[in-house]
Amino acid sequence: MASLCLILQRIHEAGPDLMRSAGHEVRLAGSLERAALLAEIAGARAVLTRDALVDAALMDAAPGLRVIGVHGTGVDNVDLAAATARGIPVVNTPGANARSVAEHALALVFHLAKQIGPGERAVRTGDASFKYRSALTELEGATFGVVGFGAIGRETARLARALGMEPLVWTRRAHDPAVAAAGLAHEPNLGRLLARADIVSLHLPGGPQTRHLIGRAEIARMKPTAFLVNTARGAVIDEEALVEALRGKRIGGAGLDVFAQEPLPLSSPLVGLENVVLTPHVAGSTEAALRRTATALARQVVEVLDGRRPDHLVNTDVAPRLWPEGAS
């Protein structure tokens, strides 16, 4: 039976094409304005979102809703407790954009280490003295701190090691077999990793457990020459503490693709700082990654609509109700 799949924010057309080929109706939401969306979602059996909020009220406005799909890994924009209480599976696409995000994290590192932005501005403004006053960094042999070791963290560590850096990994597990399997050094104490690393790259999901994981005390542990890179979720860093550290030159610099508020307001003090590189949450937005992610998400949604358990079920507590056989 054809089901209405409502896409809240535009995704690569490969995803909608896949859902249509499976016999489902696909529609892009006309607006994210609350009242309009509550009305438009009424007949949806599937809702697909990138970072738009899907809360209990939205779920209740769609009584036939059978699946919520998240374009990417982070699901902090979905009320998981509400979805689970209503028996609605939430699916995501871990790993689909891992390569692109890992490349972007390293691009931010290179920008900071080689002062690409300031150097480019120097050329455009005729600042010949930049060459003689700049302090550039060679990355070979640098300790590359990886905070979080999901698909993106693993790929970033792999690329960093290929470039001659030495990855050092912290995860929320005291003994993480994935780190050992990758042949990398594991540091179970976050403070010690921060003190040792020349670069700290964050790869953690959002949510209460990781909110402001990197705050004043943690930034104070970092080397004065260290770079902090965040392509994960803005709330993982206490932005006020980071701004203070950057203003005081207490760390070498920061590369940020995500922020506590997105889009980043022009009034943010981050905008006026020269020792920070800012990009607008585009790490996973390469053509290849967008195609893979949209296709992976559409496949998950179709599986649920067709009565099958998806590969990437976030709220596993709904499984026994929906797929009693083999639900574990």
Q: Confirm if 29 and 40 have CB atoms less than 8 A apart.
A: yes
Q: Is 40 an annotated catalytic residue?
A: no
Q: What pLDDT shows up at residue 179?
A: 97
| Helical segments of the chain, H only | 14-21, 34-40, 56-60, 80-85, 98-114, 116-125, 130-133, 151-162, 177-181, 190-196, 216-221, 239-247, 287-305, 319-322
Residue 56 CB neighbour total at 10 angstroms: 13
156 pLDDT more than 70: yes
pLDDT digits (tens, 9 = 90+) for 87-146: 999 999 999 999 999 999 999 999 999 999 999 999 999 999 999 999 999 999 999 999
pLDDT band at 1 (very low <50, low <70, confident <90, very high): confident
The pLDDT assigned to 327 comes to 46
**Catalytic residue (one of 13, 120, 262, 274):** 262
CB 153 within 8 A of CB 169: yes
Count other C-beta atoms under 10 Å from residue 249's C-beta: 10
pLDDT in tens, 270-324: 999 999 999 999 999 999 999 999 999 999 999 999 999 999 999 999 999 999 8
Spatial neighbors of 322 by CB under 8 A, at least 6 apart, are 87, 89, 309
CA–CA gap between residue 305 and residue 148 (Å, rounded): 32
Per-residue pLDDT, 325: 74
User: pLDDT at position 15, please?
Assistant: 98
Is there a contact between 304 and 310 (Cβ–Cβ < 8 Å)?
yes
**Is 262 an annotated catalytic residue?**
yes
Q: Give pLDDT, residue 314.
A: 97
- Residues 226-251 have a mean pLDDT of 98
Catalytic residue among 233, 292, 299, 312: 233
Confidence of residue 174 (pLDDT cuts 50, 70, 90): confident
Sheet holding 143-147, edge to edge: 185-186, 166-170, 143-147, 199-202, 227-230, 253-256, 276-278
| 328 pLDDT higher than 60 | no
Strands 4-7 and 46-49 come out as: parallel
User: Rg of the Cα trace of the chain?
Assistant: 21
Average pLDDT over residues 209-217: 97
The pLDDT value recorded for residue 236 is 98
String of DSSP letters for 248-300: TT-SSEEEES--SSSSPPTTSGGGG-SSEEE--S-TT-SHHHHHHHHHHHHHH
Catalytic residue among 66, 111, 281, 292: 281
Percentage of the chain beyond pLDDT 70 is: 99
Whether residue 256 is predicted with pLDDT greater than 80 in this model: the reply is yes
Helix, strand, coil content of the chain in percent (nearest 5):
40, 15, 45
Q: Does residue 224 have a cis peptide bond before it, meaning omega lies within 30 degrees of 0?
A: no
The predicted model gives 19-39 an average pLDDT of 97
Would you call 192 a catalytic residue per the annotation?
no
DSSP state of 244: H
Q: Provide the whole-model pTM.
A: 0.92
| Cα torsion 92, 98, 99, 103: sign | positive
| CA dihedral for 285, 234, 89, 8, sign (positive or negative) | negative
> Per DSSP, what are the bridge partners of residue 324?
none
State the average pLDDT for the chain.
96
- The pLDDT of 254-271, averaged and rounded, is 97
Q: Which residue has the tokens 């929906």?
A: 322
